[in-house]
Amino acid sequence: MRNIDTHSKPGLQLIDSDMLFRKSMNGFRDVTLEALDVLKSFIPPAQDDAIHIDIGGKCRELAPFLKKDLGIEYAAIVSAVEQFYPDNKIKLESWNGQNQSDFLASLKKIANGRRISSFSILDSLDFLYLNNHLLKIVVQLSKEHDAYILLGMPNSMCFDNTARLMLGQQANFQNKIDGSSAGLVLSVDTFEQELSTNGLHIVDKTNILSKKKIDRDSTDHPIADGNTELGNFFRYIRSISDNDVSEISYFLRLCLAGQSKRNIKEDLPTPASSRPFLSVIMRTQGKRLHTLCEALLSLYAQTEKDFEILIIGHKLDDDRISAVSKIIDEQTLEMRQKTRLILVEKGNRTLPLNVGFAEAKGRYISIFDDDDVVFANWIEVFKDLHKSSPGRLLRSLCVRQSVRNAKVDGQLGLRAEDSPKRLYADDFDIFQHLRGNNTPNTSLAFPRGAFHDLGLKFDETLTTTEDWDFILRVALLLGVANSKIVTCIYRWWENDESSRTEHSEREWQKNYSIIQDKIDAHPILLPAGSSKRIRSLLDDKDRLASFEEHLKSASFEEHLRKVETQLADLEHQVRISVSLRIARLIPRPVRKIIRGCLYFMWKYLGVKALFMWRQRRSSC
């Protein structure tokens, strides 16, 4: 794909959202020029009588250039309702109505037996989109003539428009070529999907960049103005996606006609209700087949069955592919139906996650590495969290247990070495997570929208801590719903290879710094109550500073006295604690007698006597 920055082309005129295509030939340096460049780079000069047909007649300025550079005649077909621009150099065919045979007849009349080298449909897609059968005719003719089809569409989803729409304000949906109001507002993804559905295979993508900087005098809009925090934040949200088109003003797609890629029905987004609740992404290198078996067994035992499993085989050789496939084949029918094996042959440990997330069909997506294990309520707890807090990052509790391999009778198994330990915080604290990760992957379920709608992806440049980076970015945007139920065990390898041992300390530190820098590069969104938390942290800092100051100024004797007093208090507390413990060791009948004696002292000798006895004891 080519992104054409019109700023960088010497002698080219800038294009922005307010600028119309229709300029004098002297100013002809924009969409049409790019369209011409695209056509010239694919279509060889004609040796025969060839014609280019412009559906909608939006690139009439191409005519002399097509003739001169490629030896191709230009003709246009426009609707009768459109304004007619007489031009003796261009043959314009007016077509009235939506009748299929009229349309075909008009095209054939224009061609007049000549070879059609190409079509262009710029800004007229809405007309064809609404009359799908007419587009089919163009596709059919393109097939017959091996003709290219150049399609163009203004970007309705540019930054300015989406910023205004977010605030419920009118956006500026204009056709870039003639300034008329756009009848159909399509995202570029939908646009390309439509092409594919209609049998148009893209051979070239050209995006024309708009003016990068907003003219301060032309807008006072608080978001569209890139200098505000809100504007920066919104720009960051738009920039997350790999396919960020906020700075693009116009899309050009050159296509060849072929078979429809997919059925239209398949292109419709799957409704949430027909998706599995959870997609489980299980990375495996095929090195620990015994733990993979355990992981799959713990999934089979889930009380909540609404899930799918995507085993992402990373860099597996043939032997490992067949070993992993065999394990899947040996599962029960229910498990086999839920499981897909996807092979990833390149990349570091992050790429399989992006591949898995992209393939996931579930409403939520969890990472479950092949050496961990989950409790039977793992998915059930996520589902409960979803019911109470839909759309958030879901988090349950995880314990850590040390393991090592054990081989009994030649069979490799896993051996737990210590008690499951609670090392991770009960609640998700975004402030703590800004400093480091406190949540193992397996205890999380990511809403699919984080990846599929917002475009948040795992950073493939990171070789470690890619999970922390992703968790942080998702949590900051979506918030977290937390459960205090233990649902999984993170296995800690005592004497075997793991990501912990595979990478050097320096590498871990480097990745840590990269993540910190990324977070600091744009504004972040903190949950409600964060200002109170920040105040409290600052208060603590002040108190600490004041105590430090006090320590410096106070005399040594004074400190010693304080310490002595504290020690005496502590000793007293210990004495009571020890007394109580000793009391517990005294048999119950003896304890009863002592209690009776004390009661007697209190009743008959008075409280004062009891007090004096205690005082005498403590003075000793």
Partner 1 sequence: MKHKRELQSFWRKNARLQLQTILYNTNFDDICRTVEALDQSVALAMSDQLVVDAVFILGDGSPEPVLDEKKLEKLQALCSVIKLKYDYFDANLGTAAGHNRMGFNADESVDFIWIQNPDVVVMPRLFNVVLDSFKRPGVGQVEAKQLPIEHPKDYDPVTGETEWTATACVMTPRFLFDKVEGFDANSFFMYCDDVDFAFRIRELGYKTIFQPAAVCFHDKRLDADGGWMPTSAERYFSAEAALIMAHKWSYPELCNKILSYFLSTNEEHLLKAAAAFKKQQLSGALPTPRDPDHIIAKFQEGNYAKHRYAL
Q: Which residues bind partner 1 (CB under 8 A)?
A: 290, 293-294, 297-298, 300-301, 303, 330-332, 334, 373-377, 397, 399, 406-409, 411-422, 426, 484-486, 489, 588
How do beta strands 50-55 and 72-79 pair?
A: parallel
Q: Which is nearer to partner 1, 155 or 377 (CB)?
A: 377
* CB of 247 vs partner 1, minimal distance in Å: 49
* CB of 378 vs partner 1, minimal distance in Å: 9
* CB of 373 vs partner 1, minimal distance in Å: 5
Q: Which is nearer to partner 1, 335 or 344 (CB)?
A: 335
| Backbone torsions φ then ψ of 313, nearest 5 degrees | -80, 115
Residue in the block written with tokens 């922005």: 16
Q: Which is nearer to partner 1, 192 or 294 (CB)?
A: 294
Contacts of 475 (CB under 8 A, 6+ apart): 393, 428, 430, 433
69, 40 Cβ separation under 8 angstroms: yes
Q: Which is nearer to partner 1, 230 or 412 (CB)?
A: 412
Q: Return the beta strands (E) in 234-347 as ranges.
A: 248-257, 278-284, 307-314, 339-344
Burial classification of residue 150, based on how many CB atoms lie within 10 Å of its CB (0-12 exposed, 13-18 middle, 19 or more buried): buried
List Cα–Cα distances, 339 to 279, 280, 306, 314, 496, in angstroms. Answer: 10, 9, 12, 16, 28
* CB of 409 vs partner 1, minimal distance in Å: 5
Q: Which is nearer to partner 1, 174 or 487 (CB)?
A: 487
The first and second tokens of residue 620, run together, are 């000793």
Strand partners, 51: 73, 116
Q: Which is nearer to partner 1, 197 or 401 (CB)?
A: 401
368, 300 Cβ separation under 8 angstroms: no
Q: Which is nearer to partner 1, 551 or 585 (CB)?
A: 585
CA distance 332 to 18: 62
Q: Which is nearer to partner 1, 86 or 587 (CB)?
A: 587
* CB of 578 vs partner 1, minimal distance in Å: 20
Nearest-Å Rg of the Cα atoms of the chain is 36
Q: Which of 362, 162, 390 is nearest to 276 (CA)?
A: 362
* CB of 298 vs partner 1, minimal distance in Å: 6
* CB of 278 vs partner 1, minimal distance in Å: 18
* CB of 275 vs partner 1, minimal distance in Å: 23
* CB of 297 vs partner 1, minimal distance in Å: 5
CA distance 387 to 274: 17
70, 43 Cβ separation under 8 angstroms: yes
Q: Which is nearer to partner 1, 161 or 331 (CB)?
A: 331
CA distance 413 to 417: 13
The first and second tokens of residue 234, run together, are 């919104």
